[in-house]
């Protein structure tokens, strides 16, 4: 979504339809327990900052564990360890997701991710704004040419630049990350600029589109 906002002409000339599954453009109504704690707990952010540029190191997979100490520490400090990965983003993962698909995804977790990516995610949670990364007022003036060297907050992604771009929104009613209230807001924004080619809701959570229940299809 952010990429489309920044490179609309690129997408217009190369894409017939932009399909978004469980899109996250705002987190004002996020329901995930883990994300809420990441949003509100400053000490977690400071702890993550001290871990360096790579948040999760490459996992050491054994018969008894698929997570390394850093990842386990993250689980413990944020409280995500009290619930399963799938439960953190799906209201009813046992009904909405394939058990085999879920295990496949978790089997590749953790994977590498930068601190800045997670910090940007938290920034969107806290500010409620779909905006570029905030480097701080001084560096923002250098990073974002539209600021013209003026100390300002990071620029917001302008959804109106997506006008008349055919976008398909596929959303899950059981999604705890991209909650119904948030994706309905996104659908309204895109409809207002004639960009919502199709909007459809499913009885799925955030990962249900990737690993739907056995025997089911997303149509």
CB-based contacts of 104, cutoff 8 Å, min separation 6? 211
The whole-angstrom separation of Cα 39 and Cα 110 is 20
Instruction: Kindly report, residue by residue over 96-124, the tens digit of the pLDDT.
Output: 788 777 777 766 665 666 667 777 888 88
Asked whether 92 and 205 are in contact (CB, 8 A), the reply is yes
Asked whether 81 and 115 are in contact (CB, 8 A), the reply is no
Please name each of the domains of the chain with its CATH number.
2-202 (3.40.50.1820)
Q: Which of 181, 175, 183 lies closest to 210 in space, CA to CA?
A: 175
**What Å distances lie between residue 106 and 32, 122, 198, 205, 216, CA to CA?**
17, 22, 31, 16, 21
DSSP secondary structure letters along 137-155: HHHHHHH-GGGTT---PPP
pLDDT of residue 162: 87
Q: What is the pTM of this model?
A: 0.72
Query: Could you give the percent of the chain with pLDDT greater than 90?
Result: 18
Mean of pLDDT values over 29-39: 75
């Amino acid at each position: 979504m952010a990429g489309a906002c920044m490179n609309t002409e690129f997408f217009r000339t190369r894409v017939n339809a932009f399909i978004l599954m469980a899109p996250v453009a705002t987190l004002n109504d996020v329901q995930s327990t883990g994300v809420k704690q990441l949003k509100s707990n400053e000490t977690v952010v400071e702890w993550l900052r001290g871990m360096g540029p790579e948040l999760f190191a490459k996992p050491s997979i054994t018969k008894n564990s698929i997570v390394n100490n850093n990842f386990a520490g993250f689980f413990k400090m944020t409280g995500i360890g009290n619930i399963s990965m799938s439960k953190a983003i799906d209201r009813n993962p046992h009904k909405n997701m394939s058990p085999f698909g879920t295990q496949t995804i978790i089997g590749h977790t953790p994977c590498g991710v930068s601190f800045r990516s997670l910090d940007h995610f938290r920034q969107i949670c806290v500010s409620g704004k779909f905006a570029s990364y905030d480097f701080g007022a001084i560096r923002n003036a250098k990073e974002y040419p539209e600021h013209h060297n003026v100390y300002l907050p990071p620029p917001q992604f302008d959804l109106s630049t997506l006008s008349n771009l055919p976008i398909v929104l596929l959303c899950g009613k059981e999604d705890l990350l991209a909650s119904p209230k948030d994706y309905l807001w996104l659908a309204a924004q895109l409809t207002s600029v004639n960009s919502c080619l199709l909007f459809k809701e499913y009885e799925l959570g955030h990962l249900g589109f990737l690993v739907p229940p056995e025997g089911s299809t997303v149509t």
